[in-house]
């Protein structure tokens, strides 16, 4: 028994010695690299991530469906005439060459941000076919088909050489503001609100009074004394909502929506810059940007234009070139000397970072110098200069950028 115990003890001792030897034979960096490797799988703070620049078309569709006040469609109660008229709507949303889906997504976003039902996002389909440059011979114009008086009443800029009704940004802002007023005025009844949008709130209020109704108990179809056009307005939106709901069962439509779609945002055009020049500077299709912004035919100070979110932020790089000389070369090692072409101010700025901690960032799809700089609380100029990049540099996924973290 004693011999057996001794053998077991010797075996344990040899095993422990072997483990220690193996551990000692590993490089010191082994544990460190393992620890650093685990950092990549740590959960990220969503607030620290850059805002997305694209989303799937089905996400836009789902966002619309989630925001409906009446999510279930009563197809039997809709007019076959209007269902036939709007039967093309799903195909237009699925057409990659059509601007309808990105514009639809923009309007849905604006309505949901305002806490409004997304039935209102169907109004531009009925009014203009989701074409920002649409004009009616009787006077209405733009995505929301405002008449001039209504546009001015809702602070849409209209002046010589600029008709804000043709601006998707200006007109949508005004439409959302107006619809929010109507939605509140008629106790959150979206049908009464759209009738008021079509006929004017005072006509609807008078009709309610004449019929002995109020906003809480009114039946939109029974309001007396209104134009047939106004009754049909609600019917059109209802039919269109049904057409879109039923398209969820069409695999071809769903497949066409299953694609990346640029997120559109309002952006202030730089001073003394034409839309065509700005589009070219940002490698955007000038024809498509012009279609999205038919109100702007020349440079106009302070104009808000509708553009892909991916392009917003590149103006900061252009501005950086005006405030100091950027280093014009490709990325260089951290120990590289400052090129002679760099300004004295830049050299001092780089020298002053010796007490800072160098960090690295791997560029992801959709990121720009502006989003990366904002994430780390530094200027675009500083980020580009530290990496020996100029304002025209294109950041590609997988590139590793260095930046200084002040201690």
Q: Are 321 and 391 in contact (CB under 8 A)?
A: yes
pLDDT (tens digit per residue) in 129-186: 999 999 999 899 999 999 999 999 999 999 988 999 999 999 999 999 999 999 999 9
- In the chain, the N- to C-terminal Cα span, in Å, equals 64
Distance from C-alpha of 192 to C-alpha of 204, rounded to nearest angstrom: 8
Query: Within 10 A of 45 (CB to CB), how many other CB atoms are there?
Result: 6
Q: List the domain boundaries for the chain.
A: 54-257, 266-307, 314-405
Neighbours of 66 (CB within 10 A): 11
Contact 328, 314 (CB under 8 A): no
102 φ/ψ angles, rounded to the nearest 5 degrees: -60, -40
- Model confidence at 313: pLDDT above 50: yes
Strands 54-56 vs 260-262: parallel, antiparallel or unpaired: antiparallel
CB neighbour list of residue 218: distance below 8 Å, 6 or more residues apart: 186, 189, 192, 208, 211
pLDDT digits (tens, 9 = 90+) for 184-226: 999 999 999 999 999 999 999 999 999 999 999 999 989 999 9
CATH class held by domain 54-257: mainly alpha
| Neighbouring C-beta atoms of residue 164, cutoff 10 Å | 24
pLDDT of 21 above 70: no
333/187 Cα distance (integer angstroms): 64
pTM > 0.95: no
């Amino acid at each position: 028994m004693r011999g057996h115990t001794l053998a077991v003890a010797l075996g344990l001792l040899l095993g422990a010695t072997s483990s220690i030897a193996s551990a000692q034979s590993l490089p010191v960096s082994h544990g460190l690299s393992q620890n650093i490797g685990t950092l990549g799988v740590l959960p990220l703070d969503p607030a620290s991530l850059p805002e997305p620049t694209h989303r799937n078309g089905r996400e836009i569709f789902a966002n619309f469906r989630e925001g409906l006040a009446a999510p279930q469609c009563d197809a039997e109660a809709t007019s076959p005439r209007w269902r036939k008229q709007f039967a093309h709507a799903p195909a237009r949303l699925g057409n990659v060459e059509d601007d309808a889906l990105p514009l639809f997504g923009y309007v849905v976003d604006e309505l949901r941000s305002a806490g409004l039902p997304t039935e209102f996002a169907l109004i531009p389909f009925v009014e203009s076919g989701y074409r920002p440059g649409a004009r009616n011979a009787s006077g209405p114009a733009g995505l929301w088909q405002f008449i001039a008086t209504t546009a001015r009443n809702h602070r849409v800029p209209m002046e010589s050489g600029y008709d804000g009704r043709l601006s998707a940004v200006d007109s949508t802002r005004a439409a959302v503001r107006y619809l929010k007023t109507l939605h509140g005025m008629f106790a959150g009844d979206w049908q009464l609100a759209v009738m008021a949008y079509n006929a004017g709130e005072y006509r609807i209020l008078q009709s309610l009074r004449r019929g002995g109704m109020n906003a809480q108990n009114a039946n939109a179809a029974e309001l007396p004394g209104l134009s047939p056009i106004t009754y049909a307005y609600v019917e059109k939106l209802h039919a269109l909502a049904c057409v879109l709901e039923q398209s969820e069962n069409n695999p071809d439509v769903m497949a066409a929506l299953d694609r990346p779609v640029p997120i559109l945002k309002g952006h202030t055009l730089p001073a003394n810059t034409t839309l065509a020049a700005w589009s070219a500077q940002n490698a955007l299709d000038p024809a498509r940007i012009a279609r999205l912004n038919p109100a702007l035919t020349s440079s106009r100070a302070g104009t808000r234009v509708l553009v892909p979110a991916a392009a917003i932020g590149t103006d900061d790089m252009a501005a950086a070139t005006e405030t100091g000389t950027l280093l014009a070369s490709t990325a260089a090692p951290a120990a590289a000397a400052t090129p002679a072409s760099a300004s004295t101010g830049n050299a001092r700025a780089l020298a002053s970072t010796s007490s800072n901690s160098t960090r690295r960032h791997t560029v992801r799809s959709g990121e720009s110098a502006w989003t990366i700089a904002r994430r780390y609380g530094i200027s675009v100029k500083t980020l580009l200069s530290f990496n020996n990049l100029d304002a025209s540099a294109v950041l590609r996924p997988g590139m590793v950028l260095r930046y200084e973290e002040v201690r």
